[in-house]
Amino acid sequence: MKTIIILIILAIIVASVLLSCLCIVPQGNAWVIERLGKYSATWQAGMHIKTPLIERVARKISLKEQVADFEPQSVITKDNVTMNVDSVVYFKVLDPQALTYGVERPIAAIENLCATTLRNVIGSMTLDETLTSREHINSETIKVLDEATNKWGIDITRVEVQNITPPKSIQEAMEKQMKAEREKRAVILTAEGEKQSAITRAEGEKESAILRADAIREERIRTAQGEAEAIAAVAEAKAKAIQLVNDSKPSKEYLSIRAMEASEKMADGQASKIIVPSNLQDVTSWATIFKESK
C-alpha cells in the first residue's frame, strides 16, 4: 500500500515537472531563454519545452507597438523662455536579445534620451519657432532617438509633442496679441465691405445713368424719324398733287383762279410787302400791287 502511494506521489511530481517544462508563448510576444545563466534562444509564439533545472525564462517581451507617455520636461528656448513640453514616444521591439542585454531600464533610458534631445532641439529655436514647428521638432527627435535605440533592439516609430506650455506671462501676452490681430482683421474686413459696397453703388448709378441716356437717345431718334417720315409724306403728297394737276392739263382760267387764291392768302399774312407775279396782271388786267403795312 505504501509502495502504491509513493508511486502515485512520484507520478504527480513527474507530471508537475513535465507540465512546468511545457511553455506556450502567446502571439505577439517573445521569450528570452538562458541555459545555465547564458543566453540560449529566443522563443517566438507557440509551444516550447524547457529543460528543467538547466533552462529558464530570462525575460518575456511584447513585440507589439508600445506607447510611452512621459512627464512634461522643462526646456529653454533660444530667446531664454522656459516652457514645459509633454511628449509621447511610440516604439517597437525588434530584437528581444539586444533589449534584454543591451539596456537595464529601456523606458527610463528612452525618457531621459527624449528629454535631452528635446532640450537640444528646442534650445536652438525661438519661442515663435517652437510653437509653429512641431513637425520639425518631432522629426529631429525621432531621428536622434532611433539612432540611439537601434543598438538596444528598439525601433522608434513615432514621436509626438503633445503640449507646449509657455509661462503664464507669455500666455497673457500671446492672448493680447491674438486679440489685437482679431480686431485688426475685423477692421480690415469692415473697410473692405464698405469699399465693395461703395463700388457696387457707383457701378449701379453708372449703369442707371447709361440706361437713362440710352432711353433719351432712343426717344430722340424715334421722334426725329417720325418727323422725317411726316415731312417726307407731306412732300410726297404735294408732289403727287402737282403731278395730278400737271397730268390733268389745267386751263389758263383755272391757274388764274389758283393764283388769286394764293394772293389772298399772302395778303392775310404779316409780310410788309406783297409782290404779285406779272402773269397775274395779264390774266386779270391788274397792275403790280404793293401793300405797305403800318
3-class DSSP assignment, residue 280: helix
If one compares 247 and 148, the residue with the highest pLDDT of the two is 148
Is the pLDDT at 136 greater than 70? The verdict is yes
Q: Tell me the pLDDT of the chain averaged across its residues.
A: 80
276 neighbors 283 (Cβ within 8 angstroms):
no
pLDDT band at residue 186 under the 50/70/90 scheme = confident
| pLDDT tens digits, one per residue of 58-92 | 999 999 999 988 888 888 888 888 888 888 999 99
| pLDDT tens digits, one per residue of 23-62 | 888 999 999 999 988 999 999 998 888 888 888 889 999 9
d(CA 125, CA 256): 120
293 neighbors 278 (Cβ within 8 angstroms):
no
Give, in order, the Cα–Cα distances in Å from 90 to each of 105, 143, 162, 248, 262: 16, 13, 13, 122, 122
From the list 153, 165, 64, 149, the residue with the least C-alpha distance to 114 is 149
User: Which residues partner with 90 through β-bridges?
Assistant: 67, 158
pLDDT of residue 273: 53
pLDDT of residue 72: 86
The share of the chain scoring above pLDDT 90, in percent, equals 10
If one compares 229 and 254, the residue with the highest pLDDT of the two is 229
From the list 244, 91, 70, 236, the residue with the least C-alpha distance to 155 is 91
pTM of the model: 0.55
Burial code (b: 16+ CB inside 10 Å, e: under 16) for 134-161 equals eeebbebbbebbeebbeebbbebeebbb
Residues found in the chain: 294
pLDDT of residue 29: 93
d(CA 102, CA 268): 138
Q: Which helix (H) or strand (E) holds 26?
A: none
Q: Find cell 491674438 and name the residue.
A: 178
pLDDT of residue 31: 92
Question: CA gyration radius for the chain?
Answer: 59
pLDDT of residue 275: 53
If one compares 181 and 249, the residue with the highest pLDDT of the two is 181
Is the pLDDT at 22 greater than 70? The verdict is yes
Q: Find cell 537640444 and name the residue.
A: 120
